[in-house]
Structure formats: C-alpha cells, structure tokens
Amino acid sequence: MNKKIQDKARSLKPKQRAVAMAAAVLIAVLIALLIARPMTERSVAAYCQVYKEEKTRLATFPGNTWPSGVFNDALSDAGEFVTSFDRLEKVAPDDIKNDVETLRQLYQKMKDDPSSAIAASLSGAGAESSVKEWTKSHCGVDLR
C-alpha cells in the first residue's frame, strides 16, 4: 500500500504536490494548535478552583504592605496579587470577569507605582467588594 501512495504522489504535477503539501502542513498545524491550546473554561467551578489554588499560593508569601479583601491576606509584593487576579480573570464567569480584571489592573498599578496605591485602592473599592461578595456566595469561603 505504501508503494501505491508513493506512485500516486509521483504522478502528481508540481502544482498539485505543492497544494497537497500545503494542505498536509495546515492540518498538522491545526492539530498542534488544538492540542496545545489551554482549555480554559469560564465557570463558577473553574473560578472557585483557581481561587482556592491562588489563596493557598498567596499564603506562602510574607508581608503586610498590600492588602486584598478578596484573598483576606496582605503581601509585600503587589505583583503576586496581579498574578492571582490574572489567573482568576481567565476563568471568571462573565458576571464577575470585569471586576476581576479591574482588580488585576489596580494591583498592577500599585506594583508599578507604589505612590498611586491610595488612589488606586479607592477607585477599586467597588470592584473589590463585588468580587469578595461573589466569591463568598459562590465558592463557600469565609472572607471577613
């Protein structure tokens, strides 16, 4: 059977061979992309799972400079909150996604320019309250 395929390939005109090769490469690339593509699902379950993972991860860092009511924790590195909110934003359901993104942006601003922390935290109070309440009611965590 391999001989038949080789004979068939040799009998194709150069233009037909080029089209066949391009099609084969395209199919291979599409398959690779589908396999490598991260399967992020926006759902309550995915959000709660990532939230619990991030809360556990954040608990290993020291500090008390940058507080977060959502994680009920304070750290010396606001960048760690940026990482956590970035991970949450990728799985957050649509009804909370924008507020999570707002918090990620605020902590990024605090990390980049610590002098803007007060203004940034005041501007994010609504988003933080919203995400905190949503997380409490959907993930069954106690955030006092």
User: pLDDT at position 89, please?
Assistant: 96
Identify the pLDDT of residue 64: 78
Task: Render pLDDT for 27-85 as a digit per residue (tens, 0 to 9).
Answer: 666 666 556 555 578 999 999 999 999 999 988 988 877 788 888 787 888 899 999 99
- Which pTM value belongs to this model? 0.69
Q: Give the chain's length.
A: 144
Higher pLDDT, 37 or 6: 6
Contact 78, 110 (CB under 8 A): yes
**How many angstroms separate the CA atoms of 114 and 137, rounded?**
32
